[in-house]
Amino acid sequence: MNRRSATFLFAAAVFAPSFAWAAETDPTQFVADFAQKGIVDILAAKVPQAERTQRFRTMFKEYFDLPAIGKFVLGRYSRNVTPEDQSKFDSLFEDVVVYTWARRFGEYNGQSLKVSSSTPDGGDGAIVKSSVVDKGGDNIAVDFRLRKRAEGYKAVDVIIAGVSMAITYRQEYTTVLAQGFPALVVQLQKQVDDLKKQQPT
Amino acid sequence: MKIGSTLRVVGVIVFAGLVSGCAHVPPASDPAGRAAFLENNDRLEPMNRVMFKIDQAADKAIIHPVISTYHHVVPDRARKGLLTFKHNISEPVTFVHNILQGSPGAAGRTFARFVMNSTIGFFGFFDVAEKAGMPFRSEDFGQTLAVWGVGEGSYVYVPFLGPTTIRDGIGLGIDSFFVDPIAWYSYNPHNAQWVQWAELGLIYVTEKDDNMEALDELRKSSIDYYAALRSAFRQIRASEIRNGAPPPMEDLDAPQ
């Protein structure tokens, strides 16, 4: 459970300059790029919160394969869901993730991401191992699961100290789905509204 | 009252609840519900949710304020020292399980950690072994049973203690009564009985404190906190059993 979310923000956000030389097809480079952009354009950027949130949303959609994650999160229920419901879910889910992370941008305090290795995963994918290191030297393991798509690598999961974000959302949401798809939509909408109220100004 | 008899009473209450609160398995006509049910491994969900409610009410009223006060009053370095001390007194148990899991190399590292931290680490308050390249790794009887091929058994939520599984709960009981040297020490009535109570208090406070921030965040970022916590707990245990390897995600690439 350790510091699931304190890190899950920084995981996305910090970078390792030593990896800037790596080839573009290198999965470690993909993660390093994402972290570099996150820290320069979002966490360390002196822009209003709304602008940071917008930049994060754009970046998140660029680096993550959201439709694939949405399907995985709905589990076998995704077979019964109409395309309209799936896209409704995808947009609510995007909001949940964006606002969950965005409300903690202000907690960034000089952490850095050290990319350590990449191992093949699921055919043409990879798992990139890294750790978020804070100023006191404490570190937390953060792994990125990547898949190769037509336009290059996309992340499909972030695993923090052994806890996969995709699996956690899936196991939570499929529990709610036992009450039907409309129940999930109602609860996600309420969650998005709550998260919006918690955003710093 | 001796700690052993107290915990036995708690055990009887929990297992009386176990037989009464079973969930219905979704029928074959609901394959998605059935798949989710099996994946979540929570046959006792109705009872567990009641226990969870009791636990959360107690947490809100008493435990969270106490731990939060501890967190804010005791300096960071002192809290870290106590957590390290708690890790250190658990090393003998980890050592036994390194052996039972057939990992003599890990057993050697655990032994070296215990000796280093108990001496130059000032009775275990400083983790000098970690700086020497031997990070803390906890093993317990639940993990050993898993390595031996024993399944989780259903998920169980125990008020005040939190999430566990049948396998891990039994493992914790065996570790607490038969493996932990402090339990053996307190079996002798001539020895000080408060030592085991102090150990229990130390474990409780340091673990609650260590998890508080993450749990608060999980609560705020979930729509079904019970289900999110169940998932996170089971993933952490599975990760410990795999010794840190990433989880498999079989149907990620399967056509839907």
Q: State the total domains in chain A.
A: 1
Whether residues A172 and B217 touch (CB distance < 8 A) is answered with no
Whether residues B214 and A188 touch (CB distance < 8 A) is answered with no
Q: Please, are residues A192 and A96 in contact by the beta-carbon 8 Å criterion?
A: yes
Q: Rounded to 5 degrees, what are φ and ψ at B160?
A: 75, -30
**Low-confidence residues of chain B: pLDDT under 50:** 256
Residue A18 has pLDDT above 50, yes or no: no
Chains A and B form CB pairs within 8 A to the count of 132
Domain ranges of chain B: 51-73+140-253
Please state the ipTM of this predicted complex.
0.85
CA gap A73, A164 in Å, rounded: 11
Say if A154 falls within a structural domain.
Answer: yes
Say if A199 falls within a structural domain.
Answer: no
Q: Which residues pair with A120 in a beta bridge?
A: A126
The pLDDT, as a whole number, for residue A23 is 37
The CATH number covering residue A75 comes to 3.10.450.710
> Which of A166, A122, A170, A187 is CA-nearest to residue A148?
A122
Whether residues A168 and B26 touch (CB distance < 8 A) is answered with no
Q: Give me the residue from B214, B246, B247 closest to A4, CB to CB.
A: B214
Say if A193 falls within a structural domain.
Answer: no
Find how far residue B160's CA is from the centre of its chain.
Answer: 12
Within 8 A of A83 by CB-CB distance, chain B residues are none
B223 touches chain A (CB under 8 A): yes
B236 touches chain A (CB under 8 A): yes
The pLDDT, as a whole number, for residue B68 is 96
The pLDDT, as a whole number, for residue B94 is 97
Whether residues A1 and B233 touch (CB distance < 8 A) is answered with yes
Whether residues B224 and A187 touch (CB distance < 8 A) is answered with yes
The pLDDT, as a whole number, for residue B18 is 59
Residues 148 through 167 of chain A touching chain B, CB cutoff 8 Å: 156-157, 159, 161-164, 166-167
Say if A157 falls within a structural domain.
Answer: yes
* Tens digit of each residue's pLDDT (9 = 90 or more) over A26-71: 899 999 999 999 988 998 888 999 999 999 999 999 999 999 999 9
- The secondary structure of A63-116, three-state, reads HECHHHHHHHHHHHHHHCCCHHHHHHHHHHHHHHHHHHHHCCHHHCCCCEEEEE
Write out the residue range of the structural domain in which residue A170 sits: 3-188
A123 touches chain B (CB under 8 A): yes
- Residue A106 — very low, low, confident or very high, per pLDDT cuts 50/70/90? confident
Say if A198 falls within a structural domain.
Answer: no
The pLDDT, as a whole number, for residue B5 is 65
Q: Which two tokens stand for residue B78?
A: 């002192």
Say if A41 falls within a structural domain.
Answer: yes
The pLDDT, as a whole number, for residue B234 is 95
Residue A21 has pLDDT above 70, yes or no: no
